[in-house]
Chain A
Amino acid sequence: ILNVEQSPQSLHVQEGDSTNFTCSFPSSNFYALHWYRWETAKSPEALFVMTLNGDEKKKGRISATLNTKEGYSYLYIKGSQPEDSATYLCAFRAAGNKLTFGGGTRVLVKP
């Protein structure tokens, strides 16, 4: 059983503040790390696919880094806005294509 952990489980952020949270995954047999944004009553929306150690990806105010040797990825939100409120999921993909999801970090941005 692959262990993919996300922390914290939830966090409250003041509008305008920046925040970050973590996804931990096995450091062996790494194939890819996916990040998704999941709003209530909608389906998960792909943010990033990260494949190489040291990868950094950016989409607007959201960015992510990857360390495959130590098995973690950070997601950063700069200048949080209320529309950033969502659950952010990471998913670890081992060789063999199976995707294992973390429990998610629920972000609530307060105006």
Chain B
Amino acid sequence: DSGVTQTPKHLITATGQRVTLRCSPRSGDLSVYWYQQSLDQGLQFLIQYYNGEERAKGNILERFSAQQFPDLHSELNLSSLELGDSALYFCASSAGTQQGYEQYFGPGTRLTVT
């Protein structure tokens, strides 16, 4: 158990809908990262937050947005869902952003868009 929690574990929804995925980092970690793993691609970095502020952006679609709240939990919002958005979404946390910090992954949320 990494100490990172994600809810829900599974989510099934229809095309065009909007969903919110939630992540709570390990106690004391200030940085949160979101990743997407779809069937035909490896692990793709989406976005990173540090202490409430966006720090880095990866291959995140405009239909997706994220935020980190004052209590450090983070939410990933996915809207106008398409079949291709079906994937495993991981959240990871680290204590800081300096180069030596490890990232600890949560169990993931499996999103199925039908």
Chain A residues in contact with chain B, CB under 8 A?
Answer: 31-32, 34, 36, 42-46, 49, 51, 89, 91, 93, 96-104
| Nearest CB of A to B69, in Å | 20
Q: Which residues of B in the span 67-111 have a Cβ within 8 Å of any Cβ on A? A: 90, 92, 97, 99-108
A-B CB contact pairs (8 Å), 15 listed: A34-B103, A36-B105, A43-B105, A43-B106, A44-B90, A49-B102, A51-B100, A91-B43, A97-B97, A98-B45, A98-B48, A99-B58, A100-B45, A101-B43, A103-B42
As a 0/1 sequence over residues 1 to 31 of chain B, the CB contacts with chain A under 8 angstroms (1 = contact) are: 0100000000000000000000000000000
> Is the CB–CB distance between A101 and B42 below 8 Å?
yes
Per DSSP, are chain A's interface residues mostly helix, strand or loop, or mixed? strand
Structural contact, B42 and A49, CB atoms closer than 8 A? no
Given contacts A34-B102, A91-B43, A101-B42, 12 further A-B pairs with CB under 8 A are A36-B105, A43-B105, A44-B90, A46-B103, A46-B104, A49-B99, A49-B100, A89-B43, A93-B99, A98-B45, A98-B56, A98-B58
